[in-house]
Structure 1
Amino acid sequence: MKHQPPKVEDYNSEDATPKPPSTEKRKRGSKNYKQSQEQTPELEAQQPPSKAAKSEAPAENGDAEEPEPEDNVEDGEDGEDGQKDEDYDEGDDGQGEEYEGQEGEYEGQGEEDEEEDQQNSTVDEPKAHKVIEEFGRAPLDRTPLANKTLTAAPEMILAMAIDAMLKSRPISHDLTQRAVSHVIEVGYHEIQNLGKSSWEERAMVLKDGGYNRYREQGATNLGNLVDLVDGKYDGDLNNLLKKSGNNRDKARSLIKEIKGLGDLGADLFFNNVQSVWPAMAPFVDARSLQTAEQVGIGTDLDAIYAELDQDPLEMSKFANGLSMVRLEKKQGAIEA
């Protein structure tokens, strides 16, 4: 299915004066949470007990949790709370011995460096388009927001932040996708609804979405997310982009202030948000960029972006497509 480029809306609200975090708690019976379906025994049997810290978590009346399969794990296999990407050793400088009597230390080195730069800037256009056509995913695909026009509306950006937070845990991709979809289904991508929820309600929503293993810490992190977005960005994460001055490094530093969203989560967030924050494009997370190199597409993001007509939505679909190629181990399908 072809997706039209998003209509990006500008949100220029001024930064709000930070407010102290809300400590109000509501009981599980609150009308703000409507459970969409009963937990099935099959879903209950998928995950082991949570080991997450319960910094604000009350007891859950003996709810039992069962083991969860470890196949098709999302990028979060490095650890918890904002896992960092693997460090890729670049090797030594490649400097050899100095040879006496030569005019220069590395005769012909300049030509070799120039040739290498030309190779790195070469993009395999057919493979790049194949990634999008066969594996590309638009932001918030397979959620209730998938059929809506993709814009920089506050609820869209918050949904992308929640998506990155939940998917940066070492849980199977299908389960995290189901949890993200359910969180959006009950309206937690709207800051007012999320702010009215209690810890118990958030934990139950995550459980109903299949996010059992980290539901307790997830419920806590969602509460902290409300406090940060309301207190520092006046309820709208678009103000984070404004505060960063459209600088990706600054924006990355600010987004990592969200509890439970570290380097890995920031990567997942930027893969998606570039579609509606064009100043953040072109972006591909480090692991997916390595996949692009492995399959022969190349790693020159500017050249890839140019090949995609500098369309930020296509760049987002490309980044997400590379992620799926890696998760599903389909590199051979692109290389063929």
Structure 2
Amino acid sequence: MSEKTSKHLRDRTEQLLDERGQTYAHEAGIELKDKPSPLYQLLVLTTLLSARITAGIAVAAARELRGAGWRTPKAMAEASWGQIVEALGRAHYKRYDESTATALGKSADLLNDRWRGDLRRLRGEAGGDPDRIRELLQEFAGIGPVGAEIFCREAQGIWPELRPSFDRRALDGAGKYDLPKDPEKLAELVAPKDLPRLAAALVRAA
């Protein structure tokens, strides 16, 4: 790649970050850190985004659940199914409110029972293998391959073994923005800490 081409791509990437580079976690009010509560809140957001519903409504629902105080799997497990359904309804998460409330309850129980409420233990069980992390994430109710990729897109800023994480939607966005569709080449355009922002921006571009 010539220096001129490289500068052009970096300029386009910087423009994209300025226009659309807000992660979904940040939009939902989650200050993502490698700690149990923020990681769990990202898992909840991932579950919400995995349904066939707009990202805006999913983010609003995540904010509603956080506002209710359910920021840990213990707190979520202690909430009633009806309370969760009502909170989702307040965010207009109507079509999938009941099934998602069930999924959130099951996921909280699994995280509490198997990993003592701490997704860092899931990461440890995976032994630094990003594919294994994706497999384990899919054991949570409501999270499939797409959901696992959503989690990894957002978490790559704090879990380096996930870098670079650009799923099919992000790569489609790269194509529409005339950026490389190769994850490694995309990763070269930004600092590691900005990879989640770039991935989110590319998804929005798609």
The question of a shared fold, defined as TM-score above 0.5 by the shorter chain, is answered with yes
Deviation of the 1:174 alpha carbon: 2.0
Structure 2: gaps of 5 or more residues: none
- 8 Å contact kept, 1:144–1:185: no
**Paired residues for 1:233-252 under 5 Å:** 233-252=115-134
Cα shift at 1:176: 1.5
Distance in 2 separating the partners of 1:139 and 1:152: 17
SS of the residue corresponding to residue 188 of structure 2 reads: helix
Provide the aligned C-alpha RMSD in A.
1.8
Kept in 1, the 8 Å contact 2:73–2:109? The answer is: no
User: Could you say what secondary structure the match of 2:164 adopts?
Assistant: coil
**1:312-332: CA deviation from partner (whole Å, max 9, x where unpaired):** x30000000011112xxxxxx
Structure 1: which 4+ aligned runs deviate by more than 4 Å? none
Contact 2:72 2:117 (C-alpha < 8 Å) held by counterparts? no
1:143 paired to 2:28: yes
Q: Give the alignment partner of residue 268 of structure 1, picking from 122, 140, 150.
A: 150
1:131 aligns with 2:16: yes
The CA deviation at 1:164 is 1.1
The one-letter code of the counterpart of 1:323 is V
Deviation at 1:304, TM superposition (A): 2.6
Taking every aligned residue pair, what percent have the same amino acid on both sides?
24
CA contact (8 A) 2:24 2:59 kept: no
State the partner residue of 2:198: 318
**Pair 1:176-2:61 in alignment:** no
Distance in 2 of aligned mates of 1:140 and 1:318: 13
Q: What is aligned with 2:181?
A: 299
- Max Rg structure: 1
Matches within 5 A, 1:1-336: 124-145=9-30, 148=31, 150-309=32-191, 311=192, 313-326=193-206
Rounded Cα–Cα distance in structure 2 between residues aligned with 1:178 and 1:307: 31
What secondary structure is seen at the aligned counterpart in 1 of 2:139?
coil
Query: 1:38 maps to which residue?
Result: none
Aligned-partner Cα distance in 2 for 1:210–1:294: 31
Distance 1:189 1:277 in 2: 20
User: What per-residue deviation string (whole Å, max 9, x for no partner) do you get for residues 39-73 of structure 1?
Assistant: xxxxxxxxxxxxxxxxxxxxxxxxxxxxxxxxxxx
Supply the AA of the counterpart residue of 1:320.
A
Unaligned regions of 5+ residues in structure 1, if any? 1-117, 327-336
Give the paired residue count. 202
* 1:139 CA drift (Å): 4.6
Q: Quick check: which one's helix share is greater?
A: 2
Q: Secondary structure at the match of 1:321?
A: helix
Query: Aligned with 2:69: secondary structure?
Result: coil
Residues 225 and 258 of structure 1 are in contact (CA less than 8 Å); yes or no, is this contact kept in structure 2? Answer: yes
Q: Which amino acid aligns with 1:154?
A: P
Q: What is the alpha-carbon distance in structure 2 between the residues aligned to residue 213 and residue 197 of structure 1?
A: 20
